[in-house]
Amino acid sequence: MSKITIAIDGYSSCGKSTLAKALAAKLGYAYVDSGAMYRSVTLYALRHGIIKDHGFLEDEIIKCLNDINLAFQFNPNTKSSETFLNSENVEKELRQMIVSENVSKVSAIKAVRTKMILIQRELGKNKGIVMDGRDIGTNVFPDAELKLFMTADPDIRTQRRYDELLSKGQHTAFLEVKKNLLERDYEDTHRKENPLTQAQDAIVLDNSELSREQQLEYVLKLITDLTLSVN
């Protein structure tokens, strides 16, 4: 079976990464969480005082890009890909609320998106990759053989994010999580540089009432049907 490129876009806390990881593991594909790349830039800026009180100078963010090296390594214990920022595993730190509150603004910077997209395209040049994010099917891999656009009810998405934070020992009010999620939705869909939009040829997957197993089964069938028709 020929390898393909799978692009998954959608809103925050829709389970994009969960589905993408499961697909990659099932198919033996590489997995790249493009959102983790933007979160890494944001984390770097926070650590170095470039972001203060939810504000920053765009020029300072751009200057630090040459000091940021990103890599993804497979963890055999968790059976998932983990993000490394300048050789440090930052997978846990990337999901902190302070990072979530600033990442949309950082990812809206043209120079940041340009660098991240170059890295993403290089990672996927040989196909056999599953990548999730906000503009994968519309901008990074517009010729991807399979494009998915994931969505879910906002309250369900909020609960998922809330539960995730609690599981990591981060205690945040439910309404605060929802506020952050809706703000990110607005920023992601209204930014000037490559906003979150549904690709015309993307298949919409509303997983409000679907289990992880049902989602995986549905998409695997899509892939089987697609590869059979291609071959």
Ramachandran assignment for 42, one of left (phi > 0), alpha (psi -120 to 50 degrees), beta (any other): alpha
Under CATH, what is the fold of the domain 5-230?
Rossmann fold (3.40.50)
pLDDT by 10s per residue, the chain, length 231: 689 999 999 998 999 989 999 999 899 898 998 989 999 999 999 999 999 877 888 999 999 999 999 988 877 777 677 899 999 999 989 988 899 889 988 998 999 999 999 999 998 999 999 999 999 999 999 999 999 999 999 999 999 999 988 988 888 899 999 999 999 899 999 988 889 999 999 999 999 999 999 999 999 999 998 876 655
In 10 A of CB 182, how many CB atoms?
A: 15
In 10 A of CB 216, how many CB atoms?
A: 17
Q: Is 66 helix (H, G, I), strand (E, B) or coil?
A: helix
Question: 20: closest CA among 130, 141, 150, 147?
Answer: 130
Q: How far is CA 44 from CA 17, 91, 103, in A?
A: 22, 13, 11
Q: Which residue has the tokens 């969480």?
A: 33
Dihedrals phi, psi of 226, to nearest 5 degrees: -70, -50
Q: Where are the domains of the chain?
A: 5-230
Residue 202 has what DSSP assignment?
P
Q: Is 54 helix (H, G, I), strand (E, B) or coil?
A: coil
Q: Is 73 helix (H, G, I), strand (E, B) or coil?
A: strand
Buried b or exposed e, range 159-177, using 16+ CB within 10 angstroms: ebbbeebeeeeeeeeeeeb
